[in-house]
Protein backbone atom coordinates (compact mmCIF):
# COMPACT_ATOMS: atom_id res chain seq x y z
CA UNK A 1 0.00 0.00 0.00
CA UNK A 2 2.55 2.48 -1.22
CA UNK A 3 0.17 5.49 -1.14
CA UNK A 4 -0.89 5.14 2.50
CA UNK A 5 1.93 7.55 3.41
CA UNK A 6 -0.06 10.26 1.57
CA UNK A 7 -3.06 9.62 3.82
CA UNK A 8 -0.81 9.80 6.89
CA UNK A 9 0.79 13.03 5.65
CA UNK A 10 -2.63 14.54 5.02
CA UNK A 11 -3.79 13.64 8.54
CA UNK A 12 -0.58 15.02 10.07
CA UNK A 13 -0.73 18.33 8.15
CA UNK A 14 -4.44 18.68 8.84
CA UNK A 15 -4.10 18.15 12.59
CA UNK A 16 -0.97 20.33 12.79
CA UNK A 17 -2.56 23.26 10.95
CA UNK A 18 -5.74 22.99 13.01
CA UNK A 19 -3.69 23.08 16.23
CA UNK A 20 -1.79 26.14 15.00
CA UNK A 21 -5.05 27.83 13.98
CA UNK A 22 -6.55 27.21 17.42
CA UNK A 23 -3.41 28.48 19.15
CA UNK A 24 -2.87 31.58 17.01
CA UNK A 25 -6.28 32.75 15.77
CA UNK A 26 -9.22 34.28 17.55
CA UNK A 27 -12.70 32.90 16.84
CA UNK A 28 -14.32 34.65 13.85
CA UNK A 29 -11.53 37.28 13.63
CA UNK A 30 -10.11 37.22 10.08
CA UNK A 31 -6.39 37.58 9.49
CA UNK A 32 -5.73 38.75 5.93
CA UNK A 33 -3.12 36.67 4.12
CA UNK A 34 -3.71 37.73 0.51
CA UNK A 35 -6.53 39.64 -1.17
CA UNK A 36 -9.60 37.39 -0.99
CA UNK A 37 -7.84 34.94 1.36
CA UNK A 38 -8.02 34.96 5.17
CA UNK A 39 -7.26 32.69 8.05
CA UNK A 40 -10.31 32.73 10.32
CA UNK A 41 -10.91 30.28 13.16
CA UNK A 42 -14.35 28.68 13.01
CA UNK A 43 -15.94 25.49 14.28
CA UNK A 44 -18.41 23.35 12.35
CA UNK A 45 -20.64 20.86 14.17
CA UNK A 46 -22.23 19.83 10.88
CA UNK A 47 -21.00 18.39 7.62
CA UNK A 48 -20.12 20.23 4.42
CA UNK A 49 -21.41 23.80 4.36
CA UNK A 50 -22.56 23.37 7.99
CA UNK A 51 -25.22 20.83 7.02
CA UNK A 52 -27.04 19.70 10.20
CA UNK A 53 -24.89 21.95 12.42
CA UNK A 54 -27.96 22.96 14.45
CA UNK A 55 -29.34 19.43 14.82
CA UNK A 56 -28.90 19.28 18.59
CA UNK A 57 -25.98 16.88 18.99
CA UNK A 58 -27.16 13.61 17.45
CA UNK A 59 -25.34 14.52 14.23
CA UNK A 60 -22.00 13.89 15.97
CA UNK A 61 -22.77 10.17 16.25
CA UNK A 62 -24.04 10.09 12.66
CA UNK A 63 -20.96 11.82 11.22
CA UNK A 64 -18.49 9.81 13.30
CA UNK A 65 -20.18 6.58 12.22
CA UNK A 66 -20.36 7.60 8.55
CA UNK A 67 -16.75 8.81 8.53
CA UNK A 68 -15.57 5.59 10.14
CA UNK A 69 -17.46 3.38 7.68
CA UNK A 70 -16.28 5.44 4.70
CA UNK A 71 -12.67 5.40 5.94
CA UNK A 72 -12.73 1.62 6.34
CA UNK A 73 -14.21 1.24 2.86
CA UNK A 74 -11.54 3.57 1.36
CA UNK A 75 -8.74 1.71 3.16
CA UNK A 76 -9.84 -1.66 1.77
CA UNK A 77 -10.46 -0.17 -1.69
CA UNK A 78 -6.92 1.21 -1.72
CA UNK A 79 -5.58 -2.14 -0.50
CA UNK A 80 -7.49 -4.01 -3.23
CA UNK A 81 -6.23 -1.68 -5.97
CA UNK A 82 -2.60 -2.14 -4.98
CA UNK A 83 -3.03 -5.94 -5.22
CA UNK A 84 -5.00 -5.95 -8.48
CA UNK A 85 -2.53 -6.35 -11.36
CA UNK A 86 -4.83 -4.46 -13.74
CA UNK A 87 -5.09 -1.48 -11.35
CA UNK A 88 -1.63 -1.69 -9.75
CA UNK A 89 -0.17 1.12 -11.87
CA UNK A 90 -3.22 3.35 -11.64
CA UNK A 91 -1.54 6.16 -9.69
CA UNK A 92 -4.31 8.71 -10.21
CA UNK A 93 -6.91 6.46 -8.58
CA UNK A 94 -4.56 5.47 -5.74
CA UNK A 95 -3.64 9.09 -4.99
CA UNK A 96 -7.30 10.10 -5.11
CA UNK A 97 -8.34 7.44 -2.60
CA UNK A 98 -5.35 8.16 -0.34
CA UNK A 99 -6.20 11.89 -0.23
CA UNK A 100 -9.89 11.27 0.49
CA UNK A 101 -8.98 8.72 3.17
CA UNK A 102 -6.56 11.15 4.86
CA UNK A 103 -9.10 13.96 4.74
CA UNK A 104 -11.89 11.79 6.08
CA UNK A 105 -9.76 10.62 9.00
CA UNK A 106 -8.50 14.17 9.69
CA UNK A 107 -12.06 15.43 10.14
CA UNK A 108 -13.09 12.21 11.92
CA UNK A 109 -10.49 12.88 14.60
CA UNK A 110 -12.01 16.31 15.29
CA UNK A 111 -15.58 15.01 15.36
CA UNK A 112 -14.72 12.08 17.63
CA UNK A 113 -12.74 14.20 20.11
CA UNK A 114 -14.76 17.41 20.24
CA UNK A 115 -17.92 16.98 18.18
CA UNK A 116 -16.91 19.73 15.76
CA UNK A 117 -14.42 20.28 12.98
CA UNK A 118 -11.87 23.11 13.08
CA UNK A 119 -12.03 25.27 9.95
CA UNK A 120 -9.70 28.19 9.30
CA UNK A 121 -9.21 28.81 5.58
CA UNK A 122 -11.53 31.50 4.27
CA UNK A 123 -11.82 32.55 0.64
CA UNK A 124 -14.01 35.42 -0.46
CA UNK A 125 -14.76 37.78 -3.28
CA UNK A 126 -16.19 41.21 -2.52
CA UNK A 127 -18.97 40.43 -0.02
CA UNK A 128 -19.37 36.72 -0.96
CA UNK A 129 -17.63 34.38 1.48
CA UNK A 130 -17.13 30.72 0.62
CA UNK A 131 -17.66 28.52 3.72
CA UNK A 132 -14.46 28.13 5.76
CA UNK A 133 -12.57 24.88 5.32
CA UNK A 134 -9.37 23.10 6.33
CA UNK A 135 -6.60 20.87 4.95
CA UNK A 136 -8.74 17.72 5.28
CA UNK A 137 -11.54 19.32 3.26
CA UNK A 138 -9.00 20.38 0.63
CA UNK A 139 -7.61 16.84 0.38
CA UNK A 140 -11.11 15.41 0.00
CA UNK A 141 -11.91 17.94 -2.74
CA UNK A 142 -8.66 17.30 -4.66
CA UNK A 143 -9.17 13.55 -4.24
CA UNK A 144 -12.74 13.77 -5.58
CA UNK A 145 -11.47 15.76 -8.56
CA UNK A 146 -8.85 13.10 -9.22
CA UNK A 147 -11.54 10.38 -9.01
CA UNK A 148 -13.49 12.20 -11.71
CA UNK A 149 -10.33 12.56 -13.80
CA UNK A 150 -9.65 8.84 -13.36
CA UNK A 151 -13.15 8.00 -14.62
CA UNK A 152 -12.43 9.90 -17.84
CA UNK A 153 -8.99 8.31 -18.16
CA UNK A 154 -10.47 4.84 -17.58
CA UNK A 155 -13.07 5.48 -20.28
CA UNK A 156 -10.26 6.52 -22.62
CA UNK A 157 -8.21 3.42 -21.71
CA UNK A 158 -11.16 1.09 -22.32
CA UNK A 159 -11.95 2.75 -25.61
CA UNK A 160 -8.29 2.33 -26.70
CA UNK A 161 -8.43 -1.41 -25.92
CA UNK A 162 -11.51 -1.99 -28.07
Burial of 126 (0-12, 13-18, 19+ CB in 10 A): exposed
- Find residue 38's DSSP bridge partners: 32, 122
Helix (H, G, I), strand (E, B) or coil at 23: helix
Point out the residues that are catalytic.
119, 137
Q: What is the pTM of this model?
A: 0.88
Whole-angstrom Cα distance, residue 50 to residue 17?
20
Cβ atoms of 89 and 66 within 8 Å: the answer is: no
For the beta sheet containing 117-125, the strands, ordered from the edge strand earlier in sequence to the opposite edge, are 31-34, 37-44, 117-125, 128-129
Report which secondary-structure segment, H or E, holds 34: strand 31-34
pLDDT in tens, the chain (162 residues): 789 999 999 999 999 999 999 999 999 999 999 999 999 999 987 666 555 555 566 666 887 899 999 999 999 999 988 776 666 678 999 999 999 999 999 999 999 999 899 999 999 999 999 999 999 999 999 999 999 999 998 888 777 777
- pLDDT of 24 reads 98
Residue 139: phi and psi, rounded to 5, are -65, -40
Amino acid sequence: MKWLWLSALTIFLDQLTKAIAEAELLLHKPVAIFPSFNFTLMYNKGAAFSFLSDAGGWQRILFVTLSTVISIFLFFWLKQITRDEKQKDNRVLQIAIALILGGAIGNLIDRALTGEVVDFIQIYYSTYYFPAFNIADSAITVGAGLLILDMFLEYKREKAHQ
